[in-house]
Chains A and B, each alone.
Chain A
């Protein structure tokens, strides 16, 4: 069993095609896409159609919603705050206009039907974290915050895509003593040390033109590897395993 885990296509169809081509060579059994399938990098409708209709022999992608999908929901009044204030603040009126015009109402409905995240085996696969779709975990996130996100996820492996970075953080909550006092008295102190757990940033398929990154994961041995796919007219298809 080997999972390919991607995020951040952001409407970049050539990037997604390049990654699919690379995945074909990896003996992958499951394909997860951790949100941000739409964005400002190209053809959102074409990407959605491609996800909805895999070609014969291709894996059916399992998709969860990301930051960009949430902006669509907000623009279309499907959920969250009205009029996508986060999108407006980050990308201005032009960004709002482009996203509004490039994703149909029907596609928004389809995106809305996708998952919040996936709990598989001892893994949680999600765009941000269980705190929020906008929660951006990186190698620089404070240790206690990474630890908290793993505890909230109730998982040994937390795969996330919001940052667009590829990284693996091994979090080791070694020791903590807790004592609770109630009106009935002091309870026995408890030790909260645990075995190490992992937070994995899965990369971004479409955010950086010409260069896609994604992750492979083998549940049997817990091995994570990152792949970089260079694509485009000048670069051709070149893959670097990292």
Chain B
């Protein structure tokens, strides 16, 4: 079975259409979406309508959550202060724009989806806001995959696609306590994978093309896809709709300097 996994569409209808056409051409059997349907982009309602009409199983992203719950503007929600300022503007615009039924739909989205040994989340199994960066400590990354009892964990949120293979894990624990003293307990894990689907509508890998991934459940082969589309049309729509022009600028470059996480594993103290 060939799966297509998409994420972080962010109200970019042009990019979504291009990716859906590419998925058709690749003859995928099933599409999964990892959330962030709205935010930043000019067409949140149209994107949600498309996802719903195709009945694509979808997880709730951090932007979807904020639209449902109201902006819970703690520093944890944003990777940096500049990102927070811009994010609030985009949130306000999106919040005014979306229809009530779209908000209701976003509220129904689950935090994770499972299919056999595959798990799908937006950020991480812990939180829609956690960034699983490829540079993350290998054991911490392995813990995220194991915590959902999966062999493959699909995530998004970072907007940069990657495949990370974790293998030959060996770990031991020795317990000393007044009640017991144990011999080392050995732990080993077989090959696990983290697959980041990138971003359909707000890519940050250095080019404006939309990205997503294909996964073959028979062969376990992963393909990172990069799809060209008319991003200038979306950029113009961003400007026309009154969204901050920086969103158009960065979309045209596929790069964001301000939203690199200062502390990607930040823990909320609230």
Does B25 sit within 8 A of A, measured CB to CB? no
Q: With A143-B185, A183-B211 given, is the CB distance from A178 to B224 under 8 Å?
A: no
A172→B139 CA distance, assembly (Å):
11
Does A167 sit within 8 A of B, measured CB to CB? yes
Contacts of A177 in B (CB 8 A): 138, 166-168
A190→B137 CA distance, assembly (Å):
10
Does A61 sit within 8 A of B, measured CB to CB? no
Does A104 sit within 8 A of B, measured CB to CB? no
How many residues on A have C-beta within 8 angstroms of the other chain's C-beta atoms?
A: 41
Q: Closest B-chain residue to A149, C-beta based?
A: B143
Does B86 sit within 8 A of A, measured CB to CB? no
Q: Are B173 and A178 in contact (CB under 8 A)?
A: no
Q: Are A183 and B142 in contact (CB under 8 A)?
A: no
CB-contact partner of B177 in A79, A143, A166, under 8 A: A166
Contacts of B146 in A (CB 8 A): 142, 144
Q: Are B138 and A182 in contact (CB under 8 A)?
A: no
Q: Are A169 and B174 in contact (CB under 8 A)?
A: yes
Does A49 sit within 8 A of B, measured CB to CB? no
Contacts of B177 in A (CB 8 A): 139, 165-168, 201, 226
Q: Which of A124-146 contact B (CB under 8 A)?
A: 130-131, 139, 142-146
A181→B222 CA distance, assembly (Å):
10
Q: Closest B-chain residue to A73, C-beta based?
A: B270
Q: With A190-B138, A228-B178 given, is the CB distance from A143 to B161 under 8 Å?
A: no
Q: Are A182 and B162 in contact (CB under 8 A)?
A: yes
Q: Are A180 and B162 in contact (CB under 8 A)?
A: yes
Does B57 sit within 8 A of A, measured CB to CB? no
Contacts of B137 in A (CB 8 A): 151, 192
A186→B104 CA distance, assembly (Å):
41
How many residues on B have C-beta within 8 angstroms of the other chain's C-beta atoms?
A: 46
Q: With A144-B143, A152-B267, A166-B178 given, is the CB distance from A180 to B163 under 8 Å?
A: yes
Q: Are B226 and A147 in contact (CB under 8 A)?
A: no
CB-contact partner of B143 in A147, A165, A168, under 8 A: A147
Does A173 sit within 8 A of B, measured CB to CB? yes
Q: Are A181 and B224 in contact (CB under 8 A)?
A: yes
A144→B147 CA distance, assembly (Å):
9
A76→B162 CA distance, assembly (Å):
45
B212 to chain A, nearest CB (A): 12
A134 to chain B, nearest CB (A): 13
CB-contact partner of A182 in B147, B185, B224, under 8 A: B224
B129 to chain A, nearest CB (A): 13
Q: Are A170 and B174 in contact (CB under 8 A)?
A: yes
Does A242 sit within 8 A of B, measured CB to CB? yes
Does A174 sit within 8 A of B, measured CB to CB? yes
Q: Are A145 and B143 in contact (CB under 8 A)?
A: yes
- Most chain A CB inside 10 Å of its own CB: which residue of B176, B185, B226: B176
Does B265 sit within 8 A of A, measured CB to CB? yes
Q: Closest B-chain residue to A187, C-beta based?
A: B134
Q: Are A183 and B176 in contact (CB under 8 A)?
A: no
CB-contact partner of A79 in B138, B171, B182, B270, under 8 A: B270
Contacts of A142 in B (CB 8 A): 146, 187
Does B240 sit within 8 A of A, measured CB to CB? no
A135 to chain B, nearest CB (A): 11
Q: Closest A-chain residue to B160, C-beta based?
A: A182
Does B180 sit within 8 A of A, measured CB to CB? yes
Contacts of A194 in B (CB 8 A): 139
B233 to chain A, nearest CB (A): 23
Contact with A along B138-164 (1 / 0, CB 8 A): 111111001100000000000011111
A-B contact pairs, 14 of them (CB 8 A): A131-B126, A139-B182, A143-B173, A144-B143, A151-B139, A168-B176, A169-B174, A169-B175, A170-B174, A176-B138, A176-B166, A176-B167, A178-B165, A182-B161
A-to-B contact residues, CB < 8 Å? 79-80, 116, 130-131, 139, 142-148, 151-152, 165-183, 190, 192, 194, 201, 226, 228, 242
* 6 nearest CB pairs, A to B: A192-B138, A167-B177, A148-B143, A175-B170, A178-B138, A143-B187
